[in-house]
C-alpha cells in the first residue's frame, strides 16, 4: 500500500482574474474577418491579371484588367450593360418563379404518398442530369425565337434541382418534431406551415440556392444562342454581339457583370436569409 | 377512485421490413388522478410504443385506451408528451416562444395570456434568464427543463414522459428527478413515465408497472413505497 496522500481543498476566488483576456492586435482582427481575407485575394488576382495581360500585350486576345474596368464603366454609362442586365434579370425572375412554384407542387405531391415520391425520384433522376441547353433546339421549335423558349429552358434548369433538395429537406425533419406538432392538435394546413416548413427550411434554402445558380448559368448560355427578341437582348446576347465586333474588353466587361451579379445574390441576399434563419436557429453552423 | 386513464387489454404491433413485430401483448392498467405512474421494463418490452399508443400516435390492434371515459383515437393537447430527444423544442423559436406557440396553437390561450403563463412556468424550472434564448444555445438538461415547462404550461389531463432524463449525465439526471418531484408537490399533476432504470422508477414513482420483454406483458403492478431494487429485480428477471 502506498502512503495515503493528503487531500487538497482549494477555495476558488473569481475576483481579480481577467477571464476575457487581452484584445487582439489590429492585423489579427483583420485576418479574422472572412470578407477582409477575400478582398485581399481579389486584389491579388486582379494584379496577377493586369501583370499577365501587360506582358502578353495583345488586347484582342486578353485585355488588361484596367481596360476591362474602363470598358465596364463606359458600357454602364452608355446604358448598354444596365439595359442588358435588367432584361436578363427579368427573364431570370420569371423562369425562377415558375420553376419554384412547380417544384413546390411536385414536392407537395411527393410528400403526400409513396407514388408521388416515386414520381419525383424518377423524374429528377431522368431530367436533372439533362443539360438545359440540350433542350434549346426543341424549345425553338415549340415556342419559337423569343422569351417563351428561354423561360422553358429556365424552368427545366430550376425545377428538378429545387424539387430534389426540397424533398430531401422534408424527409430530414426529425420524427420527434413531427410528433410534437401533432401533439398540439394542429389542423393539417397549420401543421404543414408552422411545423414542417420551418423544420425543412435548411433543405428548402439549399434548393433555392442551387436553383438560382442553375438558372443564372442556363440563362446566360441560352441568351448566347438566341437571346435576342424584338430588338432587346440580355447579358449573354451582349457578350455575343461584342465578340462579333471584336470589342474584347467589352466581352470581358460583360463576363465580369455576370460574375458580379452572381456574387451579389450569393453574398447579400442568400447570406442575409441564412443569417436570419438557419444560422440563428442553430440548424446550420 | 375512478380511473383517469384506462388501458384495457392492449396489443400493439408494428411492421418492419419483413415481419410484423408484437410490441405489447394484452396489457391492462389504470392510472388515477395525481398518480406518478411509471412503466418499467428492459429494452424491447414495448414500453415506449405503449406510451405512444396512449399519446395517440399508434393504434392498438386489440383492446382499448380511454382517457376520462373517452376513447383515444389520435394525438391531442390533453396528453402532452415529453420526449427523450433533445430536438423536441422547435429550433426556430426561443424558449418563451416555444411555450407560447404550444399554448396558442392548441387554442388554449390568447397570445398575451400565453406569454404570462409561459414566463410563470419558465421561472418554475429556473430558466427565467434564458427565456429569450434559442434552444441550440442551451445544455441538454436545460432543454429538457424547457420541454417539461412547456408540457406543464399546457396543463394536460396527463403528462406522458418517455425516458426524459435518459440522455442526461448522472448528476443532472438526479437533480432533474428531484425537480420533477418538487413540481409535482406544487400542482399534483398526473404523469405516466417510462424508464428502464430501476433506481429512477423508485425515485419518481408512486406506482410501478413491470413489463417483461418480447413482447411486453404485465409482470406486476406494485406500489413504490415499500419496494426496493432487489425486489423489483427479482420480479423482473426471475422466471416464476
> Is the backbone of residue A282 left (phi > 0), alpha (psi -120 to 50) or beta?
left
Rounded distance, CA A42 to CA A45, Å? 5
User: A176 contacts in B (CB within 8 Å)?
Assistant: 83, 85, 87-88
Question: What percentage of chain A exceeds 90 in pLDDT?
Answer: 42
3-state secondary structure of A1: coil
Residue among B75, B138, B162 with most chain A CBs within 10 A, to mutate: B75
Q: What is the 3-state secondary structure (H, E, C) of chain B?
A: CCEEEEEEEEEEEEECCCCEEEEEEEEEEEEECCCEEEEECCCCCCHHHHHHHHHCCCCCCEEEEEECCEECCCCCCCEEEECCCHHHCCCCCCHHHHHHHHHHHCCCCCHHHHHHHHHHHHHHCCCHHHCCCCHHHCCHHHHHHHHHHHHHHCCCCEEEEECCCCCCCHHHHHHHHHHHHHHHHHHCCCEEEEECCHHHHHHHCCEEEEEECCCEEEEEEEECCCCCHHHHHHHHHCCC
Q: Would you put residue A63 in left (φ > 0), alpha (ψ -120 to 50) or beta?
A: beta
Distance from CA of B92 to the nearest CA of A (A): 5
Which of B75, B80, B83 has its CB closest to that of A176? Answer: B83
Q: Which residues contact B210 (CB under 8 A, 6 or more apart)?
A: B40, B41, B218, B219, B220, B221, B222, B232, B235, B236
Contact A264, A276 (CB under 8 A): no
Per-residue pLDDT of chain A (285 residues; tens, 9 = 90+): 677 888 888 877 766 656 566 778 888 888 888 888 988 998 999 999 999 999 998 888 889 999 999 999 999 999 889 999 998 999 999 999 999 999 999 998 888 888 988 999 999 999 988 988 888 888 888 988 778 888 999 999 999 999 999 999 999 899 999 999 988 888 888 888 899 999 999 999 999 999 999 999 888 888 887 655 545 688 888 898 888 888 999 999 999 999 999 888 988 899 999 888 888 888 877
- Best of A172, A182, A183, A279 to disrupt the B interface by mutation (most B CBs within 10 Å)? A183
Dihedral sign of CA atoms A233, A236, A237, A238 in order: positive
Distance CA A134, CA A137 (A): 7
Cis peptide upstream of residue A67 (ω within 30 degrees of 0): no
Interface probe for A, chosen from B54, B90, B103, B164 (most Cβ of A below 10 Å), is B90
- Does A194 contact B137 at a Cβ distance shorter than 8 Å? no
Strand order in B36-40's β-sheet?
A: B79-82, B158-162, B191-195, B36-40, B207-212, B217-223
pTM of the model: 0.81
Q: Are B90 and B98 in contact (CB under 8 A)?
A: yes
Distance CA A134, CA A178 (A): 41
Round to whole Å and give the CA distance between A164 and A101.
Answer: 14
CB-CB under 8 Å, B136 with A194: no
pLDDT digits (tens, 9 = 90+) for A155-194: 999 999 999 999 999 998 999 999 999 888 888 888 888 9
Query: Does A177 sit within 8 Å of B90, measured CB to CB?
Result: yes
Nearest CA in chain A to B106: A184
Q: Judge: A185–B75 Cβ closer than 8 Å, yes or no.
A: yes
Amino acid at each position: 500500500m502506498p502512503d495515503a496522500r493528503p487531500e487538497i481543498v482549494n477555495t476558488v476566488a473569481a475576483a481579480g482574474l481577467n477571464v476575457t483576456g487581452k484584445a487582439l492586435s489590429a492585423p489579427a482582427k483583420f485576418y479574422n474577418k472572412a470578407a477582409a481575407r477575400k478582398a485581399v485575394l481579389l486584389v491579388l488576382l486582379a494584379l496577377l491579371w493586369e501583370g499577365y495581360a501587360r506582358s502578353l500585350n495583345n488586347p484582342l486576345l486578353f485585355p488588361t484588367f484596367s481596360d476591362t474596368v474602363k470598358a465596364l464603366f463606359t458600357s454602364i454609362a452608355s446604358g448598354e450593360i444596365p439595359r442588358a442586365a435588367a432584361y436578363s434579370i427579368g427573364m431570370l425572375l420569371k423562369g425562377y418563379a415558375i420553376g419554384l412554384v412547380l417544384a413546390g407542387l411536385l414536392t407537395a405531391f411527393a410528400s403526400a404518398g409513396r407514388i408521388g415520391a416515386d414520381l419525383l425520384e424518377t423524374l429528377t433522376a431522368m431530367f436533372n442530369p439533362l443539360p438545359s441547353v440540350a433542350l434549346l433546339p426543341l424549345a425553338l421549335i415549340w415556342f419559337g425565337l423569343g422569351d417563351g423558349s428561354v423561360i422553358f429552358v429556365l424552368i427545366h434548369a430550376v425545377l428538378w434541382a429545387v424539387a430534389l433538395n426540397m424533398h430531401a429537406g422534408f424527409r430530414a425533419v426529425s420524427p420527434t418534431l413531427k410528433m410534437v406538432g401533432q401533439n398540439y392538435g394542429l389542423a393539417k394546413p397549420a401543421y404543414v406551415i408552422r411545423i414542417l416548413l420551418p423544420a425543412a427550411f435548411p433543405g428548402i434554402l439549399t434548393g433555392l440556392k442551387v436553383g438560382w445558380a442553375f438558372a443564372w448559368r442556363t440563362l446566360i448560355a441560352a441568351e448566347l444562342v438566341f437571346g435576342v427578341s424584338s430588338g432587346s437582348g440580355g447579358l449573354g446576347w451582349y457578350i455575343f454581339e461584342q465578340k462579333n465586333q471584336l470589342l474584347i474588353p467589352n466581352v470581358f466587361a460583360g463576363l465580369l457583370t455576370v460574375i458580379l451579379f452572381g456574387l451579389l445574390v450569393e453574398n447579400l441576399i442568400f447570406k442575409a436569409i441564412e443569417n436570419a434563419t438557419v444560422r440563428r436557429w442553430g440548424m446550420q453552423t | 377512485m375512478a380511473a383517469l386513464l384506462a388501458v384495457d387489454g392492449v396489443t400493439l404491433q408494428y411492421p418492419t421490413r419483413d415481419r410484423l413485430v408484437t410490441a405489447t401483448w394484452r396489457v391492462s392498467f389504470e392510472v388515477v388522478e395525481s398518480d406518478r405512474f411509471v412503466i418499467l421494463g428492459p429494452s424491447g418490452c414495448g414500453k415506449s410504443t405503449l406510451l405512444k399508443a396512449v399519446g395517440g400516435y399508434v393504434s392498438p390492434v386489440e383492446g382499448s385506451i380511454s382517457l376520462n371515459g373517452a376513447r383515444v383515437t389520435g394525438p391531442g393537447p390533453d396528453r402532452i408528451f415529453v420526449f427523450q430527444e433533445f430536438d423536441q423544442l422547435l429550433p426556430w423559436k426561443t424558449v418563451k416562444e416555444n411555450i407560447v406557440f404550444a399554448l396558442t396553437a392548441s387554442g388554449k390561450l390568447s397570445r398575451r395570456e400565453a406569454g404570462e403563463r409561459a414566463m410563470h412556468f419558465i421561472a418554475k424550472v429556473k430558466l427565467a434568464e434564458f427565456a429569450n434564448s434559442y434552444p441550440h444555445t442551451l445544455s441538454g438538461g436545460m432543454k429538457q427543463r424547457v420541454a417539461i415547462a412547456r408540457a406543464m404550461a399546457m396543463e394536460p389531463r396527463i403528462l406522458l414522459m418517455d425516458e426524459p432524463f435518459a440522455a442526461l449525465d448522472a448528476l443532472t439526471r438526479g437533480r432533474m428527478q428531484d425537480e420533477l418531484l418538487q413540481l409535482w408537490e406544487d400542482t399534483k399533476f398526473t404523469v405516466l413515465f417510462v424508464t428502464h432504470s430501476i433506481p429512477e422508477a423508485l425515485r419518481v414513482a408512486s406506482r410501478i408497472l413491470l413489463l417483461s420483454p418480447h413482447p411486453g406483458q404485465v409482470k406486476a403492478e406494485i406500489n413504490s413505497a415499500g419496494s426496493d431494487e432487489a425486489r423489483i429485480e427479482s420480479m423482473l428477471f426471475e422466471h416464476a
